[in-house]
Structure 1
Amino acid sequence: MEPFLSNFVHNVDSKGRVSVPASFRQALASRGNRDLYAMQSITRPAIEVGGPDLLERYEAQMVAADPFGETYQDLALLAYGDGAFLKFDSEGRISVTDFIRQHTGITDKIVFVGMKHFFQLWEPARFEAQRAAARARLSAPVRKSSPE
């Protein structure tokens, strides 16, 4: 299976559609995915997108939890209540719906970010801030242990 790799900035057209990067469409095709499952990220202002296997990962966590317990209820609420199926049009575009816009702040540009097994949709400025913060967190231990 091809990983979802790299990041791409694309314009949202006047009808609210955006072209999914060709390499991401190829990665989906290599998995045999024609439908996209999308979920609002639990921890970030991004939408996580993948094939049915993305939903199956959340469902596997739910199976391991007590169906009457809080963890199960939280996972179900987010996986189903904050999830949606997206459809490609004939030109490989998806619609940037209110479901996406309200959680991310996306307006006229969108960043597609590869996450190996799935990809994320970000508003460009929020993505840049998140990437800078991640780089700072990961480089802090390196800077501390480096001789000066």
Structure 2
Amino acid sequence: MSRFLSNATNRIDAKGRVSVPAAFRAVLVQRGIQELYCLQDFVYPAVNIGGPDLLERYERKMAAEDPFALEANEMSLLLHGGGVFARLDAEGRLAVTDFIRDFTGISSEVCFVGRSDHFQVWQPQAFHEAQARAREVVRQRGLRT
């Protein structure tokens, strides 16, 4: 498996850590990702997590813009001001920091959501509601699986 797929909900332990699902850890190992880039999502109350390539992809897009343009300035504000680096501990746990909690509303459980080349962490109810809305939009457009 070379993609982050599916979703899983895990409880936060007493020290504020949560176990990243084994399938997600396997993708991180397969891709050689040790340092994680965490970015507040632009649309959803979720934090995107991937390797340094996630940051680099956005920075390449920014580099194509006029560095003095408002769009590049806003993108930097979101990418650099709304992002941090993190690492999993030896047991594959992620520290659920205030950076994550404040943006997502996560308190006691974390929903991990696969997004192909990265994954997200959500407050579980917020994820299920957003997924239901997305399913309804797709249904209204007449798209089928």
Give the TM interval when normalised to the shorter protein.
over 0.9
Q: Aligned-pair distance for 1:141? A: 2.1
Normalised by the size of structure 2, how large is the TM-score?
Answer: 0.96
1:113 aligns with 2:86: no
Deviation at 1:63, TM superposition (A): 0.6
Cα distance in structure 2, aligned partners of 1:103 and 1:42? 11
Q: Deviations over 1:104-140 (max 9, x none)?
A: 0000001000000000000011001100000000000
Which whole-Å CA distance do the structure 2 matches of 1:87 and 1:33 have between them? Answer: 10
Q: Which ranges of structure 1 fall in alignment gaps of 5 or more residues?
A: 144-148
Q: Distance in 2 between matches of 1:40 and 1:56?
A: 15
Q: Is residue 32 of structure 1 aligned with residue 25 of structure 2? A: no
Matched residue, 1:126: 126
Match of residue 69 from structure 1? 69
Q: Where do residues 80-95 of structure 1 align in structure 2 (5 Å cutoff)?
A: 80-95=80-95
Query: Residues of 1 paired with 2:61 and 2:75: CA distance?
Result: 8
Q: CA RMSD in A?
A: 1.1
The alignment's TM-score, normalised by the length of structure 1, stands at 0.94
1:88-113 per-residue CA deviation (whole Å, 9 max, x = no partner) reads 11100010000000100000001000
Q: What residue identity is the alignment partner of 2:63?
A: V
Q: Which residue of 1 aligns with 2:7?
A: 7
- Deviation, 1:51, is 0.3
2:139 corresponds to 1:139: yes
The aligned amino acid for 1:57 is R
Please list the CA deviations of residues 29-88 of structure 1 after superposition, one character each: whole Å capped at 9, or x if unmatched. Answer: 111111100000011100000001100111011111110111111111111100001111
The code of the aligned residue for 2:15 comes to: K
Corresponding position of 1:101: 101
Number of matched pairs: 143
User: In 2, Cα distance between the equivalents of 1:110 and 1:48?
Assistant: 13
Match of 2:19 in 1: 19
Deviation of 1:25 (Å) = 0.9
Q: Distance in 1 between matches of 2:112 and 2:141?
A: 29
Q: Alignment partner of 1:42: what SS?
A: coil
Q: Secondary structure at the match of 1:121?
A: strand
